[in-house]
């Protein structure tokens, strides 16, 4: 629904809620609010006037807890003769998903209440007298009875596969970064000065190789073939070059001599410490290789799944890889769930915190981006926008214009929003009108 067609103060969402409760007395509207946690959930049931029907109680995460919730809803529904039952909860990590799916499967629609809205609503005057463990559930219920929140639409089929596999891949990517940092930590102890990650250090000292460690195959082969510097300095250039060739890596005698010269000027650690750390290094290298293999396999699976969705058109755009397009598809879900790109922007949390005169001062630098919404979606959009900006002139010009007027973080978010609107138009058309497409591989 565009602005010209708006018939409700809160747009399409507000109109849908008004249509749902139209003509129904508030006493006949039943609100079931849940404060979800890892091992138990707090439930409170009240009517549309805010009058508590069932005081707060806890349910466990097992079938017994779900049955208890169902029984409580049915009992309250019979007691109040409710014609409409609203169920609301925060999208707390992944803990809410199982309960929400079970409720939807039993024909009980669920509304997801934004966590930031709950946080702000907690501080209302009417909730200061509530017990601490009841504040959140009361705040959720208050927002629910006012029609706040979005309908929960559980993913199925290819989008469910994409979502779960992409989240697993992201966890592995995070683990990969941790392993790489730990390997650098090993090298700092075993071979001080071999890896210079600090920019100032690289300017002050002459590194062995100017290439970054994780882009330098020679250095990575070196720490696998001969990670102990005490053993390394005992080798000849010909011996080191031969060891490289035996492991299937290329190495010339001149390069080997340069490596040995660099090693001999290093202040070496205690031999016993170097031996122990070398063993730890080899174990972490093996773990890293295993993680990288899993990531590569998941990327292939996600790319194949992407081809089964309309989002595959995004993989043809220059600056957007198939994996990035698949990550976006996994986070957004079925395109038919949205009427326009603005709904995705709001769900991602790419919205300004406020829009009063104070934020218009200092060329907009007074405002900030409120980090609300789906973190997976926000991360996928920001990563995609960053990559597209480097390859798409239309977005590069827009970003450089914004960064002259606003803070860098605000400029990046504004660019992500513009990129999303262009991507959405591309998805609707099935091809790109304004972005450069990748040249087909020969």
Give the model confidence (pLDDT) of 90-113 as tens digits: 888 788 999 999 999 999 999 998
Task: Report the 10 Å Cβ neighbour count for 400.
Answer: 12
Asked if the 3-151 domain carries CATH number 3.40.50.300, the reply is: no
Contact present, 139 and 128 (Cβ < 8 Å): no
Q: Is the pLDDT of residue 412 over 50?
A: yes
| Mean pLDDT across 399-423 | 92
Average pLDDT over residues 243-262: 93
Residue 133 confidence (pLDDT): 59
**How far lies 114's CA from each of 42, 144, 327, in Å?**
17, 11, 22
36 three-class SS:
strand
Say if residue 321's pLDDT is above 70: yes
Question: What is d(CA 68, CA 5) in angstroms, rounded to the nearest whole number?
Answer: 44
Residue 64 CB partners (closer than 8 Å, separation 6+): none
Distance CA 154, CA 333 (A): 9
Sheet containing strand 150-151, edge to edge, reads 52-60, 40-47, 29-36, 84-89, 110-112, 150-151
Nearest to 152 by CA among 337, 279, 278: 337
The one-character DSSP state at 213 is G
pLDDT in tens, 146-199: 988 889 999 999 999 999 999 999 999 999 999 999 999 999 999 988 888 878
Task: Return the closest-CA partner of residue 146 out of 227, 231, 33.
Answer: 33
Per residue in 215-231, pLDDT (tens digit) is 899 999 999 999 899 99
* Residue 277 to residue 199: CA distance in whole angstroms: 26
Pick 363 or 273 by higher pLDDT: 273
Residue 361 has pLDDT above 50, yes or no: no
User: DSSP H helical segments within 320-407, as ranges?
Assistant: 322-332, 341-348, 375-391, 393-405
The values of phi and psi at residue 382, to 5°, are -65, -40
Pairing of strands 110-112, 84-89: parallel
Rounded distance between C-alpha atoms, residue 43 and residue 55, angstroms: 8
What DSSP state is assigned to residue 311?
G
- Residue 203: its pLDDT value, please? 81
Residues 369, 410 contacting (CB under 8 angstroms): yes
Indicate if the alpha-carbon torsion angle 104, 107, 109, 110 is positive or negative.
Answer: negative
Angle formed by the axes of helices 157-190 and 375-391, to 10°?
A: 70
The alpha carbon of 31 is separated from its chain's Cα centroid by a whole number of angstroms, namely 31
pLDDT value of position 1: 41
Check: CB of residue 226 under 8 Å from CB of residue 243: yes
Residue 240 has pLDDT above 50, yes or no: yes
- Exposed (0-12), middle (13-18) or buried (19+): which is 153, by Cβ within 10 Å? middle
Cα distances (angstroms) measured from residue 204 to each of 193, 199, 258, 268: 12, 9, 19, 20
Nearest to 27 by CA among 7, 4, 46, 2: 46
pLDDT tens-digit profile of 115-145?
877 878 777 645 555 546 578 898 899 999 9
State the pLDDT at residue 354.
41
The Cα–Cα gap between 127 and 132 comes to 10
Band the pLDDT of 6: cuts 50, 70, 90.
low
């Amino acid at each position: 629904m565009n602005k010209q067609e708006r018939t409700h103060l809160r747009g399409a969402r507000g109109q849908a809620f008004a249509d749902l409760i139209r003509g129904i007395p508030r006493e006949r509207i039943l609100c079931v609010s849940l404060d979800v946690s890892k091992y138990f959930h707090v439930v409170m049931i009240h009517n549309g006037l805010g009058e508590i029907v069932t005081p707060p109680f806890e349910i466990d995460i097992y079938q017994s807890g779900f049955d208890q919730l169902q029984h409580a809803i049915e009992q309250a529904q019979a007691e109040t003769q409710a014609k409409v039952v609203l169920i609301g909860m925060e999208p707390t990590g992944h803990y809410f998903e199982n309960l929400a799916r079970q409720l939807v499967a039993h024909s009980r629609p669920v509304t997801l209440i934004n966590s930031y809205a709950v946080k702000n609503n907690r501080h209302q005057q009417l909730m200061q007298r509530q017990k601490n463990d009841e504040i959140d559930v009361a705040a959720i219920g208050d927002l629910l009875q006012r029609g706040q929140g979005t309908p929960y639409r559980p993913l199925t089929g290819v989008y469910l596969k994409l979502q779960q596999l992409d989240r697993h891949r992201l966890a592995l990517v995070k683990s990969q970064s941790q392993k790489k940092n730990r390997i650098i930590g090993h090298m700092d102890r075993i071979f001080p000065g071999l890896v210079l990650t600090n920019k100032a250090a690289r300017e002050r000292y002459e590194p062995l190789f100017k290439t970054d460690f994780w882009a330098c195959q020679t250095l990575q082969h070196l720490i696998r073939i001969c990670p102990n510097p005490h053993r390394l300095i005992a080798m000849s250039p010909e011996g080191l070059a031969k060891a490289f060739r035996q492991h299937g890596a290329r190495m010339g005698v001149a390069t080997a001599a340069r490596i040995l010269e660099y090693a001999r000027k290093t202040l070496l650690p205690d031999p016993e410490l170097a031996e122990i750390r070398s063993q730890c290094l080899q174990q972490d290298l093996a773990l890293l290789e295993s993680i990288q293999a899993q990531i590569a396999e998941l990327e292939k699976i996600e790319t194949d799944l992407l081809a089964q969705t309309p989002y595959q058109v995004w993989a043809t755009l220059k600056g957007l890889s198939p994996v990035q397009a698949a990550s976006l598809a996994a986070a957004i879900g079925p395109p038919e769930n949205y009427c326009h790109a603005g709904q995705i922007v709001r769900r991602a949390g790419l919205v300004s915190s406020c829009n009063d005169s104070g934020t218009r001062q200092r060329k907009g630098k007074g405002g900030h981006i409120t980090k609300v919404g789906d973190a997976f979606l926000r991360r996928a959009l920001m990563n995609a926008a960053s990559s597209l900006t480097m390859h798409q002139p239309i977005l590069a010009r827009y970003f450089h214009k914004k960064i002259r007027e606003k803070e860098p973080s605000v400029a990046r978010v504004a660019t992500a929003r513009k990129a999303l609107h262009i991507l959405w138009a591309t998805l609707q058309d099935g091809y790109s009108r304004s972005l450069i497409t990748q040249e087909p591989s020969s």
